[in-house]
Chain A
Amino acid sequence: MTNPNPASGSPDKEPATEAQESLSEARATPTQPAGDTEQTVPATATAKRPSPAGEARPSMGRMFLDNLWAANTVTVTVLAVLLAMVVGAVLIIVSDPEVLATYGYITARPTDALNASWTVVSEAYANLFKGAIFDPDAVGFTAAMSPISETLTYAAPLVFTGLSVALAFRGGLFNIGAQGQATIGVILAAVAGFALPLPPVVHLLVALIAGALGGALWGFIPGILKARAGAHEVINTIMLNYVAVYFLTWIVVQSGVQDPNRADAISKPVDSSAQLPRLLGDDLRVHAGILLAVAATWFIAWLLNRSTLGFELRAVGANPDAARTAGISVTKTYVLVMVFAGMLAGLGGSTMVLGTTATALTPLVIAQIGFDGILVALLGRVKPWGVLLAALLFGALQAGGNRMQSYSGISLELVTVLQALIVIFIAAPALVKTIFQLRAARAARLQTSLAKGW
């Protein structure tokens, strides 16, 4: 086999090479349905890679075994989750004074320390699992479905914000502003939800559209500034996040918005005609937002891979100069990408207040969905269906974390730690590869990020 790229001469690919080739990320991974085939935009990047064409094709089973311990997307993701949970376990142990006390005499009676550690960690993670997926002790339909319902409820807004960040990434922009876009979205959705007297279905649609438009407006600003003045979208979106938060804290206490029966900062509740219907009866929180999320995922996948706009968007993301030479309007694409990204984030914010998570605006109504969306997008390898799966994982962690907090007394913040760690390990596949001595994957494309400096 001849190797056209001397920089990656060794079979064990160095991270440097992955970074150089990060422009293209064409490869269907086992996590993806067949419909989501990604096309490479710059043909040069594909040519750089050592081609396996010259080798004899091994059998399917052999290939599966080879890939199992190679640094491919699935293996790295699973190992990253595992590593994060190990670090989380260490945090649980060192923050428990009773368990820590047993380490004082670990040389005399090591079993004490190990048993105590195992008990506290396994109980915490068992509750995480029971809260997120299935509780074997649950009796009846509602109790059995409750964990899944919670997971889906938490996942729905994350799908939207994750798609928002991922879409911008594909267009070569880093949208840190999903938080702000979701904030403006939730404001408009809520105001439309309680201020407009409309019949049921229309009211919901109007509220959702209002939320999407609010987010779109907040995405348009950094988009136009980037396109017209060359202002970096990372800086502007960070700043706009805070502008949006202060706007929210201001508007909830204005008369006409604030709940007249309350003294604290909370708005009037959204009318029932504007609320997303619940899917599994009134006792379970899961609502139609998750269906919208799946639809949005499908739409973004179609947009990216099948539409003209998607092609232009990926071309601009891969190489704006080349795209401009090819006759694509880079400025128009930047603005459109940010408008679409803002729209998605705005919808994500809307589902928070139109769904079952909250019924009225408060300063913290959307929690951290915008920032979590960044993690979700990276974990999902900035691909639509990957984002959906990543959001489900994060939703599960959130739902399980709630149970872990109330049953094991482990602070919900541990979930934040786990989420951040998972993404750190994902973002540095070379680290995971080194720790577990993984084989280099066949043509694996593990580098996730596409943003470039300031």
Chain B
Amino acid sequence: MSTTAVPEVAVTAVDEGFWTRNRKIGAVLLALGVLAAVLFGALATDQHARFTLSETEGGAALEINGTVGAILFGLITAASGGALLAGVPKRWFTLLLGAGLVAFVLSFLCWQVSAAPEGRNFMPLVNVVRGTFILALPLIFGALAGVLCERSGVVNVAIEGQLLMGAFSGALFGSMSGSVWVGLAAAAIGGAFISFLLAVFSIRYLVDQVVMGIVLNLLAVGITGFLYERLMQTDAAKYNSAPRFGNWEIPLLSDIPLIGPALFRGNIFLYLGLLLVLVIHLALFRTRWGLRTRSVGEHPTAADTLGVKVLRLRYRNVILAGLVAGVGGASYTLALYSFTKNMIGGKGFIALAALIFGRWSPTGALLAALFFGFADQLATYLGAIGSSIPSQFLAMLPYLATILAVAGLVGKVRAPAADGKPYIKG
């Protein structure tokens, strides 16, 4: 399939002459690197920037002089940009781009950490890694829900609503039954309820899927907000005090430095989320169901002629997606907080961004979700050390990154060809 994401628009040919896409990105990277070396290097102080491998200031740490670090990493970014500009083989592209961006972030951190007031000029990496995963968790579940839906050709803009409904019904039924497992099941069903509506209206009644997603988000906000005020606010003890999953420590693995305390002392949702990424990845690319799902998402007519039940598969996948997103919603109410009105607060849309940024693949979605989680965690951290960078601008990062991605500046993004097109058996 050679169809681009928006076939009706004439995309002006990018790869012509000297200025290929790789060279343009190399030039941008080079400029960023020089900027980092000069600006961050000048702003950084001679204090040491400490990156400790624990939750506190003490313990083993990586240490570097602030100015030196900022300039050094800036130069690495510039060098990888320069290499791209000079025209290296294409297989080096991802590696160089990744190295350049990581070095840019490190240069930025060297400046920020070294410029922090005395006593706070360290970065506890365990906290940062753990926070990244916790903040990324709803995004992982949401983006996986998106993968399941969109790979079979149904646009899922209702991720926000599915997460919210999952969080709500998890809290409600978890509180009423007093059991986390009942809550978890109810959360999954709550998410599936929204995605069932999405399935019926987009598959049976052929309503535009984006429209339906937007409306379902509002419906979920309305229903949960209404019942929250009527039930949970009047009798929080009965309706909004769900039991919570504790943290499970995995023996041996939890003793690995840095990763151990950050990843293997988490709650069930963390393990479930990572496991689901693996399962869905394998299922999508290694099983019969996966092949059928992808073929229905790319070319339903062809799949139909080969005997795949297109509509039934779409129904099943959309509802599966709702189950996954519902569990993602429960990762809030059955582990961290009690339910509040509109508590997902746009995470569903970042999950959508992660899905697109991750190019509709489970592993890509995981990486994108972690990147967005890291940006979120970084904003919290910079706020804590009294940084001069406004947290709002860091919060914009996921959205801006997605815009750059779909605009074709960071690699081509292509949706499944039949994504959003209802299938009419004819």
Residues of A with Cβ closer than 8 Å to B?
7, 15-16, 18-20, 91, 95-96, 172, 174, 176, 225-232, 234-236, 238-240, 242-243, 246-247, 249-250, 320-321, 324, 330-331, 334, 371, 374-375, 378, 410-411, 413-421, 423-424, 427-428, 430-431, 448-454
Contact between A235 and B356 (Cβ–Cβ < 8 Å)? Answer: yes
- The reply to whether A19 and B346 form a contact with Cβ atoms under 8 Å apart is no
The answer for the CA separation of A378 and B230 in the assembled complex, in Å, is 30
B296 to chain A, nearest CB (A): 14
Q: Which residues of B sit under 8 angstroms from A230, Cβ to Cβ?
A: 4-6, 9, 11, 408
Residue of B10, B215, B231 with highest tally of chain A CB at under 10 A: B215
Contact A420 B222 (CB under 8 A): yes
Q: Please tell me if the beta carbons of A242 and B222 are within 8 angstroms of each other in the complex.
A: no
Which among A410, A413, A419, A449 has the highest number of chain B CB atoms within 10 Å? A413
Cβ contacts under 8 Å, A250 to chain B: 390, 392-393
| The 10 residue pairs across chains A and B that have the minimum distance between CB atoms | A453-B420, A449-B208, A416-B222, A413-B225, A417-B222, A95-B230, A411-B229, A420-B219, A413-B226, A454-B415
The range of chain B's interface size is 35 or more
Q: How far is the CA of A238 from the CA of B206 in the complex (A)?
A: 23
The secondary-structure label for the interface of chain A is helix
Inter-chain contacts of B201 with A (CB < 8 A): 424, 427-428, 431
Extra inter-chain contacts (12) besides given A413-B225, A454-B155, CB under 8 Å:
A234-B157, A235-B352, A240-B403, A243-B396, A246-B396, A374-B211, A413-B221, A416-B218, A419-B218, A420-B216, A430-B206, A454-B6
Residues 224-245 of B contacting A (Cβ, < 8 Å):
225-231
Tell whether B402 is near chain A: CB-to-CB under 8 Å: yes
Residues of B within 8 A of A330 (CB): 8-10
If A236-B406, A411-B226 touch, whether A371 touches B218 (CB-CB below 8 Å) is: yes
Within the assembled complex, what's the spacing in Å between the Cα atoms of A234 and B415? 13
Nearest chain A CB to B346 CB, angstrom units: 6
B187 within 8 A of A: no
Closest to B422 in A: A19
Q: Which residue in chain A gives the minimum CB-CB distance to B161?
A: A420
The chain A residue sitting closest to B11, CB to CB, is A230
A242 and B8 form a contact (CB under 8 A): no
Query: Given the complex of chains A and B, what is the CA–CA distance between A97 and B154 in angstroms?
Result: 38
* Residues in B whose Cβ lies below 8 Å from that of A91: 223, 226-227
Say whether A375 contacts B408, CB under 8 Å. Answer: no
* Chain A residues whose C-beta falls within 8 Å of the C-beta of B221 in the assembled complex: 413, 416
With the chains together, A413 CA to B164 CA distance in Å? Answer: 15
Complex CA gap A121/B9 in Å reads: 51
Contact with A along B394-426 (1 / 0, CB 8 A): 011001101100111000000100111110101
Interface of B is mostly: helix
A391 to B208, CA, bound (A): 21
Complex interface: chain A residues within 8 A of B214 (CB): 176, 371, 374
Assess whether B209 is in contact with A95, with CB atoms less than 8 Å apart: no
Query: What chain B residues lie within 8 Å of A334 (beta carbons)?
Result: 9
CB distance from B285 to the nearest CB of A (A): 21
- Nearest B residue to A447 via CB reads B206
Closest to B211 in A: A449
Tell me the nearest residue of chain A to B235, going by C-beta.
A97
Residue of A nearest to B424 (CB): A16
- Shortest Cβ distance from B408 into A: residue: A229
Q: Can you list 23 pairs linking A and B with CB atoms under 8 Å apart?
A: A230-B6, A232-B406, A235-B402, A239-B399, A247-B392, A371-B218, A378-B211, A411-B229, A411-B230, A413-B228, A416-B218, A416-B222, A417-B223, A419-B218, A419-B222, A427-B212, A449-B208, A449-B210, A453-B155, A453-B419, A453-B421, A454-B5, A454-B6
Q: Mark B190-202, 1 if CB is under 8 A from A, else 0.
A: 0000000100010
Q: Which residue of B lies closest to A377 (CB)?
A: B211
How far, in angstroms, from A421 to B346 measured CA to CA in the complex? 21
Q: In whole Å, how far is B185's beta carbon from the nearest beta carbon of chain A?
A: 20
Q: Which residue of A lies closest to B206 (CB)?
A: A19
Give B394 Cβ to nearest chain A Cβ, in Å. 9
- Closest chain B residue to A233, Cβ basis: B6
Residues of B within 8 A of A454 (CB): 5-6, 150, 155, 415, 419-420
CA distance A220 to B426 in the complex (A): 40
Alpha-carbon distance A375/B211, docked complex (angstroms): 9
Confirm or deny: B349 has a beta carbon within 8 angstroms of a beta carbon on chain A. Answer: yes
A172 to B8 CA separation, bound complex (whole angstroms): 11
Bound complex: CA of A116 vs CA of B226, how far in Å? 20
Min CB distance B228 to A, Å, is 8
Instruction: Say whether, besides A234-B210, A330-B10, A453-B209, A7 and B218 are in contact (CB < 8 Å).
Output: no
Interface contact A235-B8, CB-CB below 8 Å:
no
Residue from B205, B210, B422 within 8 A of A430 (CB atoms): B205
Smallest Cβ-Cβ distance to A411: which chain B residue:
B229
A427 close to B420 (CB less than 8 A):
no
Assembly CA distance A450 to B420 (angstroms): 12
Contact string against A for B residues 147-191, beta-carbon threshold 8 Å, 1 for contact and 0 otherwise = 000100001010000000000000000000000000000000000
Q: Are the C-beta atoms of A227 and B9 separated by less than 8 Å? A: yes
A452 and B420 contact, CB distance less than 8 A: yes
Q: Is the CB of A243 within 8 A of B399?
A: yes
CA distance A128 to B69 in the complex (A): 64
Shortest CB-to-CB span from B223 to chain A, Å, is: 6
B175 to chain A: closest CB distance in Å?
A: 15
CA distance A402 to B155 in the complex (A): 35
Q: Is the CB of B421 within 8 A of A452?
A: yes
Q: Given the complex of chains A and B, what is the CA–CA distance between A172 and B12 in angstroms?
A: 20
Contact with B399, one of A16, A242, A331, A424 (Cβ below 8 angstroms) = A242
Complex contact B400–A229 (CB within 8 A): no
Chain A residue at minimum C-beta to C-beta distance from B420: A453
Tell me if B4 and A242 are in contact (CB < 8 A). no
Q: Measured between C-beta atoms, what is the minimum distance from B106 to chain A in Å? A: 25
Residues of B within 8 A of A229 (CB): 11, 406-408
**B353 lies within 8 A of chain A by Cβ:** yes
Residues of B within 8 A of A249 (CB): 392
Closest partner residue, chain A, to B234 (CB atom)? A97
Counting chain A CB atoms within 10 Å of each CB, which of B209, B226, B390, B392 scores highest? B226
Q: Which residues of B contact A321 (CB under 8 A)?
A: 8
Instruction: Please pick, from A226, A246, A427, A450, the residue contacting B215 in the complex, using a CB distance under 8 A.
Output: A427
Residues in B whose Cβ lies below 8 Å from that of A430? 205-206
B207 beta carbon closer than 8 Å to chain A: yes
Which of B210, B229, B418 contacts A174 (CB under 8 A)? B210
* Complex contact A427–B208 (CB within 8 A): yes
Chain B residues within an 8 Å CB radius of A427: 201, 205, 207-208, 211-212, 215
Which residue of the partner chain, among A176, A232, A419, A449, contacts B6 with CB atoms under 8 Å? A232
The CA of A223 and the CA of B219, in the complex, are separated in Å by 29
- C-alpha spacing A431/B352, complex, angstroms: 29
B11 cross-chain contacts in A, Cβ below 8 A = 229-230
Provide the bound-state CA to CA distance between A94 and B30, in Å. 62
Which residue of chain B has the shortest Cβ distance to A248 in the bound complex? Answer: B392
> Using Cβ atoms and an 8 Å threshold, which residues of chain A touch B155?
453-454
Bound complex: CA of A230 vs CA of B216, how far in Å? 27
Q: Which residues of B lie under 8 Å from residue A238 when comparing CB positions?
A: 157, 349, 352-353
A88 nearest CB neighbor, chain B only: B226
Q: Are B225 and A416 in contact (CB under 8 A)?
A: yes
C-alpha gap A134/B218 in the complex (Å): 28
Query: How far is it, in angstroms, between the C-alpha of A267 and the C-alpha of B216 when the chains are bound?
Result: 33
Contact present for B395 and A375 (CB under 8 Å): no
The answer to whether A226 touches B211 (Cβ under 8 A) is no
